[in-house]
Amino acid sequence: MSKNPPYNLTLDRFKAKIVAVSQDVFVCQNDNKTYKAKKAFSCLVKPQKNDTVLLYQDDESLYITDILQRKESTHIDIVASSIRLVSESDITLEAKRGINGFAKEAKVVISEVSFLSQLLTMQSEIYNSVVTTFQGFIENLSMKNRSVTQQVEEHIELQCGSSRKVVKGSDIYSVKEQVTIADGQIKIDADQINMG
């Protein structure tokens, strides 16, 4: 392996092509010379084989500081121990196909949310959310849960065109006071009614 970069360079920087990747070591070639380089800390995008990169040499090591060209249209990996995005205005994520997220644990704290969706599918073992204001318009919502517990300290209001609830077992209400107002009829159909 060559330790010295080409001599016709400025500021110890030169271009090379990655020909092999072994864990965190990138094998690069330039003018038929081969070098071993590491990714610089500021280069967040993970280099791949066949990338044209910019190398920088200090007294001990070679570092990949920039990815200049990538011929194949593949995904981009951003590798870091922790990433924080800060914007004084907006942050927008836009994808033509889909947006996927995978995490062992996720926490989202939002003061106000506006959500617009034609189809929402959600599968979760444990879901915790703290939201001050939530506004959403969903054209179709389908949820299948094994168990749901909801605690509301003050008030729940439901406005809809029609409502239907099917319960296989018992439906138990425990209230201090209940008021039912109907413009038309109230119909109760049961084999037996016990009031006491």
> Over the chain, what is the mean pLDDT?
82
CA dist., res. 102 & res. 179, Å (int): 46
Q: How many CA atoms lie within 13 A of 146 on its CB side?
A: 5
Burial of 54 (0-12, 13-18, 19+ CB in 10 A): middle
In this structure, is residue 136 part of a structural domain?
yes
| Residue 19 is assigned to a structural domain of this protein | yes
pLDDT digits (tens, 9 = 90+) for 36-84: 999 998 888 889 999 999 999 888 889 999 999 988 767 788 877 788 8
pLDDT value at residue 114: 77
Residues 6+ apart with CB under 8 A from 164: none
Integer CA distances (angstroms), 154 to 151, 157, 178, in order: 9, 10, 15
Per the structure, the count of domains in the chain is 2
Sequence-ordered list of residues with C-beta below 8 angstroms from that of 21, at least 6 positions apart, any chain: 27, 47, 48, 49
Which amino acid makes up residue 36?
A: K
pTM: 0.49
Write the pLDDT tens digit of every residue in 118-150: 777 777 777 777 777 777 777 777 777 778 888
Q: Write the CATH number for 20.
A: 2.40.50.140
Q: What is the pLDDT of residue 73?
A: 66
The reply to whether 153 falls in a domain is: no
Structural domain for 116, as ranges: 109-141
